[in-house]
Amino acid sequence: MAQVWNPSKKHSEFARWVCIYPVYINTTGFNARLENKLHPRERSKEMPYYGRVRVQLKQDDGTPVRPDFPTRDSLLLHLGTTIPKLKTRQGKQASGDQSSQSSASSSKKGKGKGRR
């Protein structure tokens, strides 16, 4: 059951940590825990797609755990630039680019006047 936000809770308490759903996150320098949850819009309910990561962004006094990531948005921007650079993502992008190029060339061949 979802808990109501309470400002008296410390930043180090697990309930105050930020939830993130990426498949990969480098937890170096952060307190992080993996939860057995699934993103609500994930179509596949298989185990490889499970996992929600909670990350502690702020210490009890309100200062960031890592000064380069003071907010959730800054962490998500970092993930957005880092995830495409992963080796597992590099191979998938190259094959995706080739298939889009081949489909574009084949669509040019089939163009005509259309229905009359």
Strand (E) or helix (H) holding 80: helix 72-82
pTM of model > 0.75: no
**Average per-residue pLDDT for the chain:** 73
For the chain, what are the domain ranges?
Answer: 14-85
Q: Using pLDDT thresholds of 50, 70 and 90, give the confidence band for residue 63.
A: very high
Structure tokens belonging to residue 91: 């191979």
Tens of pLDDT, residue by residue over 18-35, are: 777 554 455 456 777 777
| Total Cβ atoms within 10 A of residue 57 | 19
How many alpha carbons lie under 13 Å from residue 33 in its C-beta half-sphere?
11
Q: What is the CATH number of domain 14-85?
A: 3.30.56.30
Q: Are 83 and 92 in contact (CB under 8 A)?
A: no
